[in-house]
Chain A
């Protein structure tokens, strides 16, 4: 174990290293140079004066936000002798499982490719390029023949992988007892129980004001809402990422949410971001990728059929097609247990110089992937801004929902936490459902993989995602899943089959998430 001092200097060194390469660095440098002409900068107190200038002009705040972002996204440096894969995933058996899963996905993709005779990538002829440019804002009108394409995998396939996870060092030969785990996930990961969560999520307590509860019609706005909105406006004016994150724990007002989320994610819409997006768009125009068809199919099957999101179909293509080509996304694989699939030039399999990451961003979409983007269309109008926010949300949170890892925000932990919460606090229900062959995780899994997108009504979903951002963790998703079961417990106790259990939980569109979470965390008898 390193001592705190070494750890801190390592962290600082790492962050400085990463920020040195960014546009922000050159901007601040330029600002510092230009401010030398200003009268208040004196030679005697040069360093001091330049610092004060940067502070007053808001550049220090931007730097603060950038540092804050780095702290959040990158994991803490581990032991200097630790190999890089430990940053991705410290547990060997998890790494192995992820590798095997990836092999399966890639096999499936390659065989679809061979079967259909469609290349993984091809350059578009000039005519097609021109057509696509003209149709860029209405790609949804296209009706390509997608019948031959199948999604590479669906959440339920992934669930089977998680169910089969075993820690080889864990002795599970003990007799099944009341203490043993009733659920499907059989790995011994650590997670928080309700008393610990009460402390961690103190802002959600019964005595604290919340959007999603205390902005209801019969509550006078002076009690909470007006003041909260006033503070929100102040936070946006100050452009402070850390403050925005803290603020978001109690919910974001509808009119301020777009700005607050962009602030928390430090997602800018500077000219270089717009240019980056335009470059990606050019990439889409020039080349056609096999995964494009998967994206089309996914959007048509999911978002286009949703009452709330069908209207955003075109935006979804504009974001997801660009996303596939964004090599900047590859950075996140340093802390993602997943590894981008590699494709080899024909005949040169295994030869690294002929390896190419496929798709360029290393992320193969699965059935339902477009639902990560859909709710964001509610907040952002400009494609480049929408793209920027989505990408940041993906590399911070969403990737954890479909990779095998031991992270506390990872899907494995969420599933385990969900099952443990249910077993501890609703044992009768869990037992009953198990007996009738309706393991709760089989129903809740699809909600959690999508962070509830497409299952809740939009306004409720956005209130949930406020808290994901506010607490920088997906844990709340597992809590909500358990709370939903608690809410419908009475009906669930009466069902006698998996199908009827699913029917009871089929429609979540009327649920109010914050009361459910609040009651589950703070009113459950422990």
Chain B
């Protein structure tokens, strides 16, 4: 069995680079560009695996994600009532421009003095993002009949989303940060999703202040952007491991409060995936590792900023490198090309099974325990990740193991 990989990843498996025109592969870690061009023309045998879903952009493109979430929320409200639907209120008010320009203006006028953030729909790493407080800053996205036909054809404006900027982010020592969390989806129908215990908090290298909205270094916490800031010190490291953050928050606010916070974070993953469940083209060959960006506000409410289909795997430090290697190793364990797993596992390495066509609990749910009210979710974000030990026990050689 040969494993091929596109250039860029140096893993412990000793991947070979894919040769052009070589259509034979068993496992493909490709980028979305390749997928777009080749997926539809590739014939994949039963055992083959590829690391993206065909139309993943329903979740990872900012405008589509919002569209799907809004629609899902409406459905929930209709079917299960307002309270249930309010559990989807984890993304800030968002409008696609120029198509929803008028709706946006209505909302904008309702909240005078508010700050908004403009993000290009399809770019990454913080490119093209800016903040604004006045309508005149986004004149280019104005949709009205005043521009002539020729003008409209000439200057095809890139699709953006305008999103209400979270003006009260949770600050640590005056600095803003966001969370990067890894969620692995191996199937949408039924929905099966794993949550990785490690992740990190990315700090902005300058202090937060609303008075300097032009200073993109303050507001954008993407490491890619931070690296270009004049006072960026690569030795400094703008990241904290998730465990570090969780401990800090627990020391500050107490165990119960932070457990509730992480439960809310779990809710974001599950609902966002559910919102695209019916839209994504399910394919047993596909799996996808998402990089979720979450922001906390001062009331300890988590907000979904965006979902990345190709989270960066380049490392900013030794610690980061090790974490990402382990992340990939465990992803491959779950994809399980070797057929070593039974399919009934609730944990593989650093991954905990978060959703398996229904919530997954730490406790074993059986006839006896069914009556009891307290089940805890099987997620351990920011908790101890003793993956090596767990893998040793899990992958002990067995005479014969059948994959279900």
Contacts and interface: CB of A to CB of B under 8 A. Distances in A.
Given A216-B384, A255-B254, A305-B236, A138 B247 contact: no
Interface string A298-310: 0000001101101
B251 A379 contact: yes
Interface string B63-104: 000000000000000000000000000000000000000000
Interface in A109-154: 137-138, 140-141, 143
B240 interface: yes
Contact of A255 (B173, B233, B240, B250): B250
A309 to B, nearest CB: 10
A389 B272 CA distance: 44
Interface string B207-229: 10000000000000000000000
A311 B386 contact: no
A308 B240 contact: yes
A169 interface: no
Contact of B244 (A217, A304, A377, A458): A458
Of B203, B248, B255, most buried by chain A (CB within 10 Å of CB) is: B248
Given A255-B251, A311-B172, A378-B251, A141 B207 contact: yes
B251 A257 contact: yes
Interface in B343-383: 383
A137 B251 contact: no
Interface string A450-461: 000000001100
Contacts of B250: 254-255
A310 B384 contact: no
Contact of B255 (A138, A254, A458): A254
Given A254-B255, A311-B173, A459-B247, A138 B240 contact: no
Summarize A's interface: helix, strand, loop or mixed: helix
A336 B172 CA distance: 36
B41 interface: no
A137 B244 contact: no
Interface stretch (A95-103, A192-200, A312-320, A361-369): A312-320
A378 B384 contact: no
Interface string A387-399: 0000000000000
A311 B240 contact: yes
Contact of A137 (B174, B231, B319, B383): B174
A381 interface: yes
A307 B318 CA distance: 12
A381 B236 contact: no
A255 B248 CA distance: 9
A307 B251 contact: no
Contacts of A143: 231
A258 B254 CA distance: 10
A458 B251 CA distance: 12
A360 interface: no
Contact of B235 (A138, A140, A258, A305): A305
B251 A311 contact: no
Contact of A377 (B173, B237, B239): B173
B252 A138 contact: no
B174 to A, nearest CB: 6
A253 interface: yes
Contacts of B231: 143
A217 B386 contact: yes
A33 to B, nearest CB: 37
Nearest to B206: A141
Interface in B254-285: 254-256
Given A308-B240, A311-B240, A254 B247 contact: yes
Contacts of B175: 311
Nearest to A316: B173
B236 A304 contact: yes
B386 A314 contact: no
A159 B255 CA distance: 42
A137 B236 CA distance: 20
A140 B236 CA distance: 14
Nearest to A315: B173
A208 B319 CA distance: 34
B244 A253 contact: no
A138 B174 contact: yes
A229 B250 CA distance: 14
Nearest to B246: A254
B255 A255 contact: yes
Contact of A310 (B237, B319, B383, B386): B237
Given A137-B174, A314-B174, A315-B173, A378 B248 contact: yes
Nearest to A309: B173
A137 B171 CA distance: 12
Contact of A307 (B240, B247, B255, B386): B240
A213 B319 CA distance: 24
Contacts of A377: 173
Nearest to B248: A378
A305 B207 CA distance: 17
Nearest to A141: B207
A379 B252 CA distance: 6
B251 A258 contact: yes
Contacts of B172: 311
Contact of A254 (B235, B239, B251, B319): B251
Interface in A279-308: 304-305, 307-308
A458 B174 contact: no
B173 A312 contact: yes
Nearest to A217: B384
B203 A311 contact: yes
Nearest to B205: A310
Contact of A138 (B207, B233, B254): B207
Nearest to A311: B173
A514 B206 CA distance: 37
A459 B240 CA distance: 13
Interface in B382-397: 383-384, 386
Nearest to A257: B251
A212 to B, nearest CB: 12
Interface string A366-385: 00000000000111010000
A458 B386 contact: no
A308 B241 CA distance: 9
B228 to A, nearest CB: 18
A484 B140 CA distance: 64
A214 B294 CA distance: 32
Of A141, A307, A459, most buried by chain B (CB within 10 Å of CB) is: A307
Of B203, B206, B235, B251, most buried by chain A (CB within 10 Å of CB) is: B251
Interface in A306-359: 307-308, 310-315
Given A307-B237, A378-B248, A253 B255 contact: yes
Contacts of B207: 137-138, 140-141, 314
Contacts of A258: 251-252
A481 B207 CA distance: 38
A225 to B, nearest CB: 11
Sorted nearest first, the 4 A-B pairs with minimum C-beta distance are: A255-B255, A255-B254, A138-B207, A307-B237
29 contacts: A137-B174, A138-B174, A138-B207, A140-B207, A216-B384, A217-B384, A217-B386, A253-B255, A255-B250, A255-B251, A255-B253, A255-B255, A255-B256, A257-B251, A258-B251, A304-B236, A305-B233, A305-B236, A307-B237, A307-B317, A308-B240, A311-B203, A314-B207, A378-B251, A379-B251, A379-B252, A381-B252, A458-B244, A459-B247
Given A137-B207, A258-B252, A305-B236, 4 more contacts: A255-B251, A257-B251, A312-B173, A313-B173
